[in-house]
Amino acid sequence: MKLKYSWIYCRQFKKNVNIKKLKENTTEFRELFEKHKDKIIKLIERYSGKKLDKNIDVYVVERDEGGSFHDPLTLKFHENNKLMFCIFIHELVHHVVDVGFGSEREHNVNRIVKKVIKDLNLNLDKEFNEIEGFAKEKYDR
């Protein structure tokens, strides 16, 4: 699993992309990613009972509208890098959870995300609450 900062891919979401700046602004995320990715894969496999594809690349992009999505795993820049990190876990879990639709699926995904975050023990409760809020915003109108 690798992080990708692709100018040509970023261009699909925003006209003026400064990759160097994007890299600088995601230093904390990159450190969290490199330090914990192997453990995250193990935990997701444990809690889902499924094998995760180790060749998934993670594309970091900037975009004003729309969010992150899981295939290809595209992660929207957030000032709060810890939030990005939680969203990364969420999108990764989507690769093994395909049960339910809409808010039900989001709930199934977040149930695993919650366990993974708890085991990582990085004090990400606030960020987890935020991503649970995203699912509510998207589906419960």
Q: Given the rule CB under 5 A, which residues bind Zn ion?
A: 106
DSSP state of 122: S
Q: Cα-atom radius of gyration of the chain, to the nearest Å?
A: 14
Residue nearer to Zn ion on the CB measure, 17 or 96 = 96
Q: How far is CA 130 from CA 12, 127, 135, in A?
A: 26, 5, 9
d(CA 44, CA 106): 15
CB of 88 to Zn ion, least distance (A): 12
Residue nearer to Zn ion on the CB measure, 62 or 106 = 106
CB of 8 to Zn ion, least distance (A): 25
d(CA 7, CA 93): 26
Residue nearer to Zn ion on the CB measure, 106 or 127 = 106
CB of 24 to Zn ion, least distance (A): 28
